[in-house]
Amino acid sequence: MLLLIDAGNTRVKWACIPIDAPLQFPATWEAIGSVSHQEMTQLVQAFSHHHIVRCKISNVAGAELQQSVDKLLLAQYPELKIEKFSAADTAVGVQNLYRDPAKLGSDRFASAIAAHHCFPDHDLVVATCGTATTIDAMTAQGDFLGGMILPGLQLMASALAKNTAQLPQIALHADSLDVFATQTDQAIASGCLHAQIGAMQCAVQRLEHQRGKPVKLIVSGGAAPYLVPQIRKIQQTQKVQQLHWQEVENLVLTGLWIAAKSS
C-alpha cells in the first residue's frame, strides 16, 4: 500500500491507495483522513491495519513536524521508505517557472501537477484554500507561471474578530450571504469570502488576458465548501463574463500520487 501525506500548517491529511492502482481522476482511495497537529499521536492509528510499504510526503509545516511524522511512521513500519516531495525545475510534465524553483511550496507544486493532469488541455487558475489561500496559474502546456498567497478565511476573520468562532460564523452565512451585509458578523463573513473570490477572479481575468482564451478555475482545500456557494451565486448572476470553475478535492494528495507513480 502507498501512503500519501499532505502536512499543512493546521492539519496533516493522508490517504492510502494500492501501489499498483491505475491513475484515474478522481482517485479511489483505500482510506483517507486527517488529524490536527495537536492530534498527531493518532495519525498512524488511522491506517495501522494497512500494509504500508511506501510513503510520499509533502510538508510545509517545518522540520519539527517532519521529525514527529517520521518517528510515528517508523515506529509502526520500521522498514518504510519515506520519500520527501519537494518542488523541482520540472516533474511529471509540469515546468516550474518560479525564479528559484526549489523555493516553491511542495503543496503548491503537487496541486499544480494534479490540476494539470486532471485538466491537461486547459489553462488553469488553481486556488487551494486552507490556512493560507494560494492562487496559481498553469498553462495547458504544463508551465507553472507563479501565483499569489493570501491569508485564508480563518486568518482573515481572526484579524477582524479575535476571540470569536470565526469560521463557524462564515459557515452559518455562506449559503445565503449578501455582499452588502446588515449585521457585523455577516459583514465579516462577506468581506472574507468575497476577498478570496475577488482574488481568484483577478487571477482568472489576468491569465485570460495573457493567454487570449478562457481559463478554468480549480478550487480545492478545506475552506472550499465555504466559498463554493458564493462562486455558484456569481456564476448564476454574472452577465458580462462567465466564470468557468470546478471544485476538486484533495489536489495535493492527488499530485503526490501522480508523482509517486512516475518514480
Laid out side by side, the sheet with 94-96 consists of 90-91, 94-96, 143-151, 132-138, 124-129, 216-220, 244-247
What cell was used for 192?
A: 472574507
Q: Is 8 annotated as a binding residue?
A: yes
Cβ-based neighbour number of residue 22 at 10 Å? 7
Q: How far is CA 235 from CA 67, 194, 259, in A?
A: 44, 14, 33
My answer on whether omega of the bond before 26 falls inside 30° of 0, hence cis, is: yes
Q: Is 28 annotated as a binding residue?
A: no
Q: Is 226 annotated as a binding residue?
A: no
Task: Please tell me the distance from the alpha carbon of residue 113 to that of residue 91, in angstroms, as a whole number.
Answer: 8
Task: Please tell me the distance from the alpha carbon of residue 14 to that of residue 77, in angstroms, as a whole number.
Answer: 16
Q: Is 21 annotated as a binding residue?
A: no
Residues 6+ apart with CB under 8 A from 71: none
Q: Is 121 annotated as a binding residue?
A: no
Give me the count of residues in the chain: 263
Active site members: 107
Q: Is 54 annotated as a binding residue?
A: no
Q: Is 106 annotated as a binding residue?
A: yes
126 touches 146 (CB < 8 A):
no
Q: Is 7 annotated as a binding residue?
A: yes
Q: Is 184 annotated as a binding residue?
A: yes
Q: Report how far Cα 17 is from the mean position of its chain's Cα atoms.
A: 19
Q: Is 6 annotated as a binding residue?
A: yes
Q: Is 9 annotated as a binding residue?
A: yes
Binding site feature residues for substrate: 98, 105-108, 184
Q: Which residues are annotated as a binding site for ATP?
A: 6-13, 131
Annotated binding-site members: 6-13, 98, 105-108, 131, 184
